[in-house]
Amino acid sequence: MDNRQKLIVNGGSQRRIEGELRVHGAKNSALPLLSATVLAHGECVLHNTPRLTDVDAACRILTQLGCRVRRDGDTVSVDATNVSGYEIPETLMREMRSSIVFLGAVMGRNGRCRLSFPGGCELGARPIDLHLSALEQMGAEITEEHGYLNCEGTLHGAKITLSFPSVGATENIMLAAVTAKGYTEIHNAAREPEISDLANFLNKMGAKIFGAGESVITVRGVERLEPAEHSVIPDRIVAGTYLCAAAITRGELILTNCEPQHMNGFLTVLESMGARIYNYGGEKLYITCKKRLIAPPTIRTMPYPGFPTDIQAPFTALCATAEGTSVFVETIFENRFRHIPELVRLGASVKTEGRVCVVEGVKRLSGAKVCAAELRGGAALVTAALAAEGTSEITGLQYIDRGYENIETALRSVGADIRRS
Ligand code: EPZ
pLDDT tens per residue, range 77-122: 999 999 989 999 888 888 888 899 999 999 999 999 999 887 667 7
Distance 168 CA to ligand 1 centre (A): 6
When pLDDT is cut at 50, 70 and 90, the band that residue 125 belongs to is: confident
CB count within 10 Å of CB 126 equals 16
Phi, psi of 8 (to 5 degrees): -105, 120
Closest residue by Cα to residue 19 from 271, 253, 340 = 253
CA 241 to chain centre: 12
Q: What is the DSSP letter of 80?
A: -
CB 355 within 8 A of CB 124: no
Whether 198 contacts 36, CB under 8 Å: yes
Q: Which of 28, 129, 304, 374 to mutate to test the pocket of ligand 1 (most atoms within 8 A of CB)?
A: 28
Q: At 73, which amino acid appears?
A: G
> 76 Cβ partners below 8 Å, 6+ apart?
34, 45, 46, 49, 55, 59, 69, 70
Regarding predicted confidence, which is higher, 117 or 353? Answer: 353
* Ligand 1 center to 339 CA (angstroms): 18
Predicted local confidence at residue 120, as pLDDT: 65
| Secondary structure of residue 405 in the 3-state scheme | coil
Q: What is the pTM of this model?
A: 0.97
pLDDT of 151 over the 90 cut: yes
Determine contact, residues 235/308, Cβ cutoff 8 Å: no
What share of the chain in percent tops pLDDT 70? 99
Return the pLDDT at 277.
97
Q: What is the pLDDT of residues 31-71, one digit of tens each?
A: 999 999 999 999 999 999 999 999 999 999 999 999 999 99
| Residues shown for the chain | 421
Predicted pLDDT of residue 8: 98
Amino acid letter, 78: V
The pLDDT assigned to 17 comes to 97
Find the catalytic residue in 59, 67, 113, 121: 121
Nearest alpha carbon, ligand 1 atom 1 = 167
Separation CA 78–CA 10 (nearest Å)? 41
Contacts with 282 (C-beta within 8 Å, 6 or more apart), sequence order: none
Query: Which atom of ligand 1 is the closest one to the Cα of 31?
Result: 15
pLDDT of residue 119: 67
Ligand 1: centre distance to CA 74 (Å): 25
Q: Is the pLDDT of residue 2 over 80?
A: no
φ, ψ of residue 190 to 5 degrees: the values are -65, 150
Q: What pLDDT is stored for residue 89 in this prediction?
A: 86
Query: Are 184 and 222 spatial neighbours (Cβ–Cβ below 8 Å)?
Result: no
Q: Is the pLDDT of residue 191 over 90?
A: yes
357 is catalytic: no
C-alpha 303 to ligand 1 mean position (Å): 10
pLDDT grade for 200, boundaries at 50, 70 and 90: very high
Q: Is 130's C-beta closer than 6 angstroms to any atom of ligand 1?
A: yes
Judge residue 223's burial from the number of C-beta atoms within 10 Å of its C-beta, 0-12 exposed, 13-18 middle, 19 or more buried: exposed
The best mutation among 99, 117, 167 to test binding of ligand 1, ranked by most ligand atoms within 8 Å of the C-beta, falls on 167
In the DSSP assignment, the letter for residue 121 is B
Residue 168: CB within 6 Å of ligand 1?
yes
* pLDDT reading at 215 higher than 60: yes
Q: Is the CB of 127 under 6 A from ligand 1?
A: yes
DSSP percent split of the chain into helix, strand, coil, nearest 5: 35, 30, 35
Amino acid in position 92: L
8 A C-beta contact, residue 258 and residue 266? no
Sequence-ordered list of residues with C-beta below 8 angstroms from that of 411, at least 6 positions apart, any chain: 17, 242, 245, 382, 386, 418
% of the chain beyond a pLDDT of 90: 91
Contact 408, 12 (CB under 8 A): no
Q: What is the pLDDT of residues 246-297, one digit of tens each?
A: 999 999 999 999 999 999 999 999 999 999 999 987 899 999 999 999 999 9
Cα 51 from Cα 106, distance rounded (Å): 24
CA-based nearest residue to 330, from 340, 322, 321? 340
